[in-house]
């Protein structure tokens, strides 16, 4: 009985908290399931309502009513603006929507803080509700009981509207068959706008009514967004009632779970989210390993490379060519749709793999290879010259940009080459970073040792998490990788003996560039070390991507069904790409620690994951050089340009997100290829791969 008494109030709090999340998540589910918009600014819509309601609250019923009306209207208007902003992206898939709405969230959050201030606003409720009532022998806030009643009524009303009214029928038809809806005289675009307006209104109303529960503050939007995403994933998109039950379960974890099992509660939500997504992908996606003769070792690109390199050193190139089955590399190049690539692989068969790699792994004559290498050589020349042109602070920013650039290149490998858009590469990035910091703290300060250990640790992490990622496609991959990233963030905050928790790690010895050297403290020395590591990592990455192994990976993205039918172990290719990208991210994390000489959870959080994805998109999804340039643009905007306008860094970054989505639909590589070019490096995001998630963002064509 004492145990029940101790946990009764947290359990009821969990119901109130869950119902609040339900109202918010219902709008998010409506926007995604009906309008097809992956809205990462939904938490900002809640914050608009919360700030407006708190500002207008005066402790009277009239103030509550005015705040509710104003907050709901403001968020609904923002929803209408969101509809206008996302309509041009209808054919570009959920990846472009996610980046756009995240940028809008950054802009909206900065404007809210500018207008209302950075401190959490007090919320004054009517005097009749600002008291406690007796509930089964326990005192409980009257406002929360009232909110529970209002949320239940809202759930019932929403279900009635969707299932029993003509408006609800039009909304359902818009989700199931918009063409048929148009034949009945209804405009799918009008329904799209109405749905996003309604979603904004729900979020705004929840913000006003939920402000006494989740008050308006600097981190409110992020908290609400993440919890709402968990609710939508757990509850699905088909029924408000399953969303309601999922929201209550999440609310219980956030309140009762924290009081009963505080050490496990941070992991439960995103672990459950990942488990549900993985289970759905197992059911809905095709098998990736061992299918169609996938156990054939001859089609394994790493095994093939090992054989060919060994044969090259021994001078038996022709014999090694016969070791690979005819359906191995050639069919991979054929499936990728690149005839020139197939010819190049065929030509390399008799001369060995090593000379082919040393030639640059490219197609065509020397002049074409020089043209393709020119951007990388120009970028390298600029980077080498930077220490002589910049001050110490700006040089340190350039080093940070190199670290973020390596992370962005790892995202490019997964998003552009493997067709697996990711928001979770900060997890192996964090593994490499914390491995380096702990090695330095233990006295292992030699740079090459730190790099190798960081890469191995991140690769092992990616090996463990890879099977959960590679079966899914499209938006499901984004959500799974997001869950993995959030689980890593929770672990960072919990494992204080390793990570320092929220305080981070600082005070460890400086890195030595080589054995026997002194610790690097001068910014130019640190930058040159970061540049050397970056050059080696990028060169290795380019050699692999331009080798037959890279062509096989591109083939899995362009024509996965044909690759499977020809006997290729597609799952193995994707897993190896995931491991390689993770190792590269780990190297980037190690470089970041060396440059900064401190490490905090914010350096490896969701915001950094979004920045890395944006850098990859700015570059053009399959452009390594473009990803590096994109990372430099982001760091310069965040830390250098924003220094001249203090307090508006997020606003400037948000503008960069929006501009990149609209102005660079194919990235910098698309500008180089020219309008309408389908050349190499041009990223197409308007393609719906057959047999996959309906989101075209899941597969990015070269």
Q: Is the pLDDT of residue 639 over 80?
A: yes
Q: Is the pLDDT of residue 615 over 60?
A: yes
Which pLDDT belongs to residue 141? 86
496-524: average pLDDT: 87
Which pLDDT belongs to residue 464? 93
- What DSSP designation does 598 have? E
**What whole-number distance in Å separates Cα of residue 260 and Cα of residue 266?**
12
**What whole-number distance in Å separates Cα of residue 691 and Cα of residue 702?**
19
Q: What is the pLDDT of residues 275-333, one digit of tens each?
A: 888 887 766 554 443 333 333 333 444 454 455 555 555 544 444 444 444 344 333 33
**What whole-number distance in Å separates Cα of residue 247 and Cα of residue 262?**
19
What letters, b where the CB count within 10 A reaches 16 and e where it falls short, cover 72-104? bbbbbebbeebbebbeebeebbbbbbbbbbbbb
Q: What is the pLDDT of residues 148-164, one digit of tens each?
A: 888 888 778 877 887 77
Is the CB of residue 362 less than 8 Å from the CB of residue 348? no
DSSP 15-75: HHHHHHHHHHHHHHHHHHHTS----TTHHHHHHHHHHHHHHH--SSHHHHHHHHHHHHHHH
508-530: average pLDDT: 88
Is the CB of residue 458 less than 8 Å from the CB of residue 429? yes
Q: Average pLDDT of the chain?
A: 79
DSSP 3-state of 489: helix
**What whole-number distance in Å separates Cα of residue 505 and Cα of residue 492?**
11
Cα distances from 398 to residues 174, 404, 447, 596, in angstroms, run 48, 10, 19, 11
- What DSSP designation does 217 have? -
Which pLDDT belongs to residue 260? 73
Which pLDDT belongs to residue 532? 94
pTM: 0.79
Torsion-angle region of 516 (φ positive above 0: left; ψ -120 to 50: alpha; else: beta): left
Q: What is the pLDDT of residues 180-210, one digit of tens each?
A: 666 766 777 888 888 899 999 999 999 999 8
Q: Is the pLDDT of residue 3 over 60?
A: no
Q: What is the pLDDT of residues 435-451, one digit of tens each?
A: 999 999 998 999 999 99
Confidence of residue 341 (pLDDT cuts 50, 70, 90): very low
Range scoring the smallest mean pLDDT among 98-107, 334-343, 424-433: 334-343
199-222: average pLDDT: 88
Rounded to 5 degrees, what angle do the CA atoms 664, 670, 675 make?
Answer: 95
Is the CB of residue 397 less than 8 Å from the CB of residue 636? yes
Give 570: exposed, middle or buried? Use CB within 10 Å, 0-12, 13-18, 19+. buried
Range scoring the smallest mean pLDDT among 105-119, 143-157, 411-425, 530-544: 143-157
């Amino acid at each position: 009985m004492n145990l029940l008494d101790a946990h009764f109030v947290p359990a009821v709090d969990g119901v109130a908290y869950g119902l609040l999340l339900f109202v918010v998540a219902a709008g998010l589910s409506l926007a995604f399931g009906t309008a097809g918009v992956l809205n990462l600014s939904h938490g900002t819509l809640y914050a608009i309502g919360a700030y407006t309601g708190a500002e207008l609250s005066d402790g009277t019923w009239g103030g509550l009513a005015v705040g509710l009306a104003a907050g709901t209207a403001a968020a609904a208007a923002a929803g209408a603006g969101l509809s206008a902003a996302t309509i041009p992206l209808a054919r570009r898939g959920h990846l472009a929507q996610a980046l756009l709405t995240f940028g809008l969230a950054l802009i909206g959050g900065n404007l809210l803080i500018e207008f209302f201030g950075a401190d959490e606003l007090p919320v004054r409720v009517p005097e009749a509700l600002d008291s406690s009532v007796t509930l089964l022998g326990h005192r409980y806030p009257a406002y929360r009981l009232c909110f529970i009643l209002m949320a239940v009524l809202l759930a019932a009303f929403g279900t009635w509207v969707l299932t029993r009214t003509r408006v609800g029928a039009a909304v359902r038809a818009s989700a199931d068959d918009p063409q048929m809806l148009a034949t009945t005289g209804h405009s799918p675009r009008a329904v799209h706008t109405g749905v996003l307006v309604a979603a904004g209104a729900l979020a705004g109303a929840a913000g006003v009514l939920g402000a006494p529960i989740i008050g308006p503050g600097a981190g409110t939007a992020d908290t609400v967004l993440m919890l709402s995403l968990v609710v939508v994933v757990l509850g699905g998109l088909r029924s408000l009632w399953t969303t309601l039950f999922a929201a209550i379960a999440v609310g219980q974890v956030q309140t009762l779970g924290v009081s009963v099992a505080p050490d496990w509660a941070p992991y439960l939500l995103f672990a459950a989210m990942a488990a549900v997504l993985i289970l759905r992908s197992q059911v809905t996606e095709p098998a990736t390993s061992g299918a169609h003769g996938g156990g054939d070792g001859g089609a394994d690109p790493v095994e093939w490379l090992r054989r060919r390199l060994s044969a090259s050193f021994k001078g038996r190139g022709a014999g090694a060519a016969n070791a690979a089955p005819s359906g191995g590399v050639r069919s991979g190049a054929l499936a990728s749709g690149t005839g020139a690539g197939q010819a190049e692989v065929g030509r390399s068969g008799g001369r060995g793999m090593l000379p082919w790699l040393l030639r640059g792994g490219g197609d065509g004559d020397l002049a074409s290879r020089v043209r393709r290498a020119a951007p990388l050589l120009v970028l390298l020349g600029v980077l080498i010259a930077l220490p002589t042109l910049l001050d110490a602070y700006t040089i340190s920013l350039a080093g940070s940009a190199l670290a973020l650039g390596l992370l962005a290149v790892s995202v490019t490998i997964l998003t552009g080459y493997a067709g697996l858009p990711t928001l979770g590469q900060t997890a192996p990035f964090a593994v490499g970073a914390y491995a380096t910091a702990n090695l330095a703290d233990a006295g292992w300060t030699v740079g090459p040792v730190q790099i190798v250990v960081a890469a191995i640790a991140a690769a092992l992490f990616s090996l463990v998490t890879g099977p959960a990622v590679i079966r899914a496609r499209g938006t499901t991959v984004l959500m799974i990788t997001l869950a993995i990233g959030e689980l890593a963030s929770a672990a960072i905050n919990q494992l204080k003996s390793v990570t320092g928790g929220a305080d981070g790690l600082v005070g460890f010895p400086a890195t030595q560039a080589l054995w026997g050297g002194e610790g690097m403290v001068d910014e130019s020395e640190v930058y040159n070390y970061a540049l050397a590591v970056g050059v080696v990592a990028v060169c290795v990455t380019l050699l692999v991507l331009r080798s037959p192994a890279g062509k096989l990976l591109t083939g899995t993205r362009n024509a996965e069904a044909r690759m499977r039918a020809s006997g290729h172990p597609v799952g193995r290719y994707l897993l190896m790409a995931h491991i390689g990208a993770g190792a590269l991210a780990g190297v980037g994390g190690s470089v970041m620690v060396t440059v900064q000489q401190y490490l905090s959870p914010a350096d490896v959080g969701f915001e950094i994951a979004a920045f890395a994805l944006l850098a990859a998109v700015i570059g053009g999804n399959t452009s390594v050089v473009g990803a590096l340039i994109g990372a430099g643009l982001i760091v310069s905007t965040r830390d250098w340009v924003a220094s001249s306008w203090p307090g508006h860094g997020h606003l400037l970054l948000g503008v960069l997100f929006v501009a990149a989505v609209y102005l660079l639909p194919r990235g910098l590589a698309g500008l180089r290829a020219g309008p309408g070019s389908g050349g190499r490096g041009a990223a197409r995001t308007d393609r719906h791969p057959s047999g996959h998630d309906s989101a075209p963002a899941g597969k990015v064509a070269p």
